[in-house]
Amino acid sequence: MADLSGRVLEYDERLWKAMSDEMGGKFEFAASMGGKNWGARKVWRLWEFPGLRRWKRSAGIAKRLCKAVEGLVNYVWIWWRLGRRNYDVVHLQWLPFSEFCGLEKAIIPCLQRRAKGAKWVLTQHNIYPHSCRNREAYRKRLRGIAPRFDAVVLHNESAKRDFCREFGMPEEKCRSIPFGCYWDMPPSRTSREKTGKYRILHFGGLASYKGSDLLVEAFAHLGRKCWDCAELRLAGKASPEFSRKLRSLAGDVPIEFRFGFLPQEELKAELEAADLVVLPYREIGQSAVLLLSFLFDVDLLASNLGAFLDTMTGAPSDCFFETGNVESLASHLRAKIARGRGNWLKDQLVKWRKVYRWDTMARKTVALYHEILTTGQQRPNKQ
C-alpha cells in the first residue's frame, strides 16, 4: 500500500497500524509523509530539502513543479520496489497526477506489467479533489485510469454511487469501506463544565466547499436575541482570500475566528467546550471532521448530503438541513439554540463510535483483498 500524496499524516499512521495489526508481516506501507517513527517505509518528499520548504504553502507554479518531480521520483521508487519482490495486491491511496494531467494513464500500466500479476486497488477519498479546477478534464482522465484497477474503495454508499455514475465504473468493482476516526482513544473528561452561552463550533479547513461562508451568513440571520445566548466559533486553516471573505460576511456579527492550524490538544479543548458542531458542506465524500466529532458529547448539524446521511445512520431529522440553503441552516440553528445544551445524541454517538473503528476498516479491506485474489471479481457491497 502506498500514499504518495503527502497530505494527511494522521490518516496514514492509523491506516498503517490497523492494517499491520490485521495482516502482520504480510503488509507493507509506503508514505511520502515519512512515517519513520511508526514503521512505514519512507518515500521521497521534496519539502524536506531546506531550500524548497518556502514553497510548501504556496499555490504557484513552483509548488506544482516540485510536486510533479516528487511524484515521478516516487513512482520510479515503486517501480523499483515492485521488481524486488512479488506482491499479491498493490493498493494506492491517491493518484497524485490525475488532478492536473494524465501521466498516470501511462504510469499505471507500466507498474502493472512490473508487478507480475498482482491485483490493484485504488482508494478514491473524494469524488473530485477539493482543489480540482476542471472537473470535465479530471473526469476524462480518471475514466481512462480507473478501469485498470481490480477494485476501487469509496468511504460510503453515496460516494460509491456517485463515483460509478461520474466515471462509468460497474458497481461490482467498487466497495464502500468507511475509515476510522483520526483519534483511536476516547477524549478525556477533565475539561471545564460547560457554562455560559450555547457554543457552536465549525472546525477543520475553512473553505467554500465546506460551506464555512454559509454558516457565517446563517448566524448573521439569527439576530440579536440568539447572539445574546449563543456564540459561533470558526477554527481552522483558510486561504487569505477566504478568511477576508468570512470576516467581510460577518461584519459586526459577534463571531469568533481562529485562522490557522490547531494542535491536537487545542482542537480537543475546542470540541470538549462545544455544544454543537456544524458541518454546512456543499459537497463531500467522507468527512474526518464528522468522525472526530463522534468521540465528543456534542450535538450535530450537517447538510443533507448523501455522505452525511449514510455516515449518520439513525440520526434524528433535526440533525440535517437543506444543502446550500442559508435560510434552512439558520432555522435549524435557531431551533438548536432554543432547545439548549444536552446530551441529545447519546445513544447514536455510542453506536457510531463502535461502527467507525480502524480495525473494522482493516478487516473489510483485507476481506476485499482475499475476494479479488480468490474470485477475480468483487461481489456487490453489502452492509
pLDDT in tens, 56-86: 554 556 556 666 777 788 888 889 989 888 9
Average pLDDT, the chain: 85
Question: What SS3 class is residue 145?
Answer: helix
Task: Measure CA of the first residue to CA of the last residue in the chain; give whole Å.
Answer: 24
112-135: buried (b, 16+ CB within 10 Å) or exposed (e) per residue? beebeebbbbbbbbbbbbeeeeee
pLDDT at residue 186 greater than cutoff 90: no
309-351 tens-digit pLDDT: 999 999 999 999 999 999 999 999 999 999 998 888 989 999 9
Q: What CA dihedral angle connects 291, 204, 22 and 158, to 10 degrees?
A: 60
Maximum distance among all Cα pairs of the chain, rounded to whole angstroms = 68
Structure confidence at residue 383 (pLDDT) = 41
Is pLDDT of 223 > 80?
Answer: yes
Q: Please say if the pLDDT value at position 168 is more than 60.
A: yes
Amino acid 112: pLDDT: 94
Confidence of residue 227 (pLDDT cuts 50, 70, 90): very high
Residue 368 CB contacts under 8 Å (≥ 6 apart), including other chains: 121, 151, 153, 175, 177, 378
The pLDDT of 17-21, averaged and rounded, is: 89
> Is residue 131 pLDDT above 50, yes or no?
yes
How confident is the model at residue 99, as a pLDDT? Answer: 81
Q: Are the beta carbons of 183 and 297 closer than 8 angstroms? A: no
Across 37-51, 54-68, 104-118, least confident range? 37-51
Instruction: Look up cell 510533479; give the residue.
Output: 68
What's the pLDDT at 382? 41
What average pLDDT does the segment 37-62 reach? 50
3-state SS, residue 276: strand
pLDDT, average across residues 352-364: 91
pLDDT at position 100: 81
Q: Which residue has the higher pLDDT, 94 or 306?
A: 306
Distance, CA of 13 to CA of 356 (rounded, Å): 16
